[in-house]
Amino acid sequence: MYNKKSIAVVIPCYNEEGKIGKVIEKVPKDIVDEIIVIDDGSTDNTAKEAELRAATVLRHEINMGTGAALRTGFEYALKRNYNICIQIGGDDQFNPHQIPEFLEKIEEGADAVLGSRYLRKEDSENMPLFRKITTKLFSAFFSFVIGQKITDASNGFLAFKTKILKEIDISPQWLNRYELEPYMLLRIIEKGYKVVEIPSSQRYDKSKGYSKMKPIISWWHITKPLFRELPKALLRRFR
């Protein structure tokens, strides 16, 4: 509980044994009411590792995608009437100790708070060059489409008022892979909710790999919501 508001942390996972436990241990338990881990068809001990640390584990029998896992977690949080959802990755790249900073911004009036690796120079210094180029290009494309500058539109650290889910249809199956995150952010902004970005650090273990995204096909999934919105954006700009 945080200032009389109930808090749920939603963590989508696929084969994150050895990492998910570290993530859960870093979540500030004094303000978070429930940690919801969605095991998206893992073939390792991800679920067991999360359960041993008292997380609520929701399981997909087969791998359905990050979007599908997030949908499962968000729908669970909505049914449980949590006031605020915090989305974070299960790969131990983000820093859950920053959760209070996200919640403070919501207390100050934001409806959604997005982490950004580009508001402080030090947060992007260790980012692999290719990742830095692609994330900046994606953010520029996103900003053009929505008509509002977002410095890190593909950041996976997001806090938002759960009631927002009542106004956004996240049920379409085409959102199952990497589409749901940009789609939700687009809809949140489009509906006039106040979105702010705050500095967010991220670590990259280059020796073990730092992303499950696959070139071309994953890029298509994450940009699909933007291309679907592009005609409307062009009409707004040039009519």
Instruction: For residue 38, give the 3-state DSSP assignment.
Output: strand
- Cβ burial of 3 (10 Å; 0-12, 13-18, 19+) is exposed
Residue 212 has pLDDT above 90, yes or no: no
CATH number assigned to the domain with residue range 7-238, chosen from the 4 options 3.40.50.620, 3.90.550.10, 1.20.120.10, 1.10.1520.10: 3.90.550.10
What pLDDT, on the 0 to 100 scale, is given for residue 205? 72
Lowest pLDDT segment from 41-45, 83-87, 224-228, 235-239: 235-239
Residues 6+ apart with CB under 8 A from 192: none
What pLDDT, on the 0 to 100 scale, is given for residue 135? 96
Please report which confidence band the pLDDT of residue 107 belongs to, taking 50, 70 and 90 as the band edges.
very high
What's the rounded Cα separation, in Å, for the pair 158 and 155? 8
Phi, psi (rounded to 5 degrees) for 159: -120, 140
What pLDDT, on the 0 to 100 scale, is given for residue 79? 98
What pLDDT, on the 0 to 100 scale, is given for residue 208? 54
What's the rounded Cα separation, in Å, for the pair 14 and 44? 9
Residue 213 has pLDDT above 80, yes or no: no
Question: Sheet holding 84-87: strands in order across?
Answer: 56-60, 34-40, 7-13, 84-87, 158-161, 112-116, 195-199
Instruction: State the pTM of this model.
Output: 0.94
Contact, 113 vs 105, CB < 8 A?
A: yes
Residues 6+ apart with CB under 8 A from 231: none
Contact, 190 vs 210, CB < 8 A?
A: no
Q: Mind listing the pLDDT tens digit for each residue in 15-41?
A: 999 999 999 999 999 999 999 999 999
Task: Convert 117-146 to b/e letters by CB count within 10 Å (16 or more is b).
Answer: bbeeeebbeebeeebeebbbebbebbeebb
Q: Mind listing the pLDDT tens digit for each residue in 114-140?
A: 999 999 999 988 899 999 999 999 999
